[in-house]
Amino acid sequence: MKMANLVNNSSFCVVFLLILALENLGTRAETKAFFVFGDSLVDNGNNNFLATLARADTPPYGEVLGWEPTLPYLSPQLKDKKLLVGANFASAGVGVLNDTGIQFRLHQLGVGRVLVTGTGPLGCVPAEMALHSRDGECAEELQQAASLYNPQLVQMLDALNKDIGHDVFIAANTNQMNMDFITNPEKYGFKVSKVACCGQGPYNGLGLCTPLSNLCENRDEYVFWDAFHPSERANRIIVDQLFNGSNTYMYPMNLNTIMALDSRA
């Protein structure tokens, strides 16, 4: 996973993410390509080519899949054989538009699997805590919106899979993954779950993470790195849930199960 190191508004808050694993159905599994759509949580450099402060100019954490990392689609290096690996279309600050539903129709073009993440705990990120929280409580209205959205997303994807006849769409319950840290941080080795490691103002939730910001001594003890994004350690635990999580977190199956099934195809 990749996080932009600067953000500038609340639309960065895990609103929507599509990861498309495409394969040519007439060839072997090794020919798969990997396409990413999303916001600052997975922007691996596209915004570096745009006029914005929401940059993604630090190295990505790595590809757990074991495949060659995808390049930003705006990168001049994305050409020739690099195009066969896939591409990252994520851009920090992107939102959910009415026309993004077109991505669900890509199955007709040969999409093998589509991983769709739900929204995270919108009301518990430091940015929203700074605006709405008085005693450390999460913003109730935003949390309710997330709790309504995610189950309906699972229902929609389940219906799409039934129409197709097999499990193309996979739902990732990132809301629950994050809430595990926030409600029981000690269980996962965290000490601080509602204050960002880097920032300013209440809960370090105001403004950008800059050299002038407050900075924690040990980022591994914090659930949040900045006003919107999980810390690297939190992201690693989330990735582990994506690969190994139960149906509570990954429905109808996790990525390890998917890769095992697809390797036999």
Task: Name the residues annotated as catalytic.
Answer: 40, 226, 229
- 12 burial type by CB count under 10 A (0-12 exposed, 13-18 middle, 19+ buried): buried
Residue 190 one-letter amino acid: F
CB 19 within 8 A of CB 114: yes
3-class secondary structure per residue, the chain:
CCCCCCCCCHHHCCCCEEEEEECCCCCCHHHCEEEEECCCCCCCCHHHHCCCCCCCCCCCCCCCCCCCCCCECCCCCCCHHHHHCEEECCCCCCCCCHHHHHHHHHHHHCEEEEEEECCCCHHHCHHHHHHHCCCCCCCHHHHHHHHHHHHHHHHHHHHHHHHHCCCCEEEECHHHHHHHHHHCHHHHCCCECCCCCEEECHHHCECCCCCCCEECCCHHHECECCCCCECHHHHHHHHHHHHHCCCCCEECCCHHHHHHHHHCC
Distance of CA 244 to the CA centre of its chain: 16
Tokens read off for 213: 């910001």
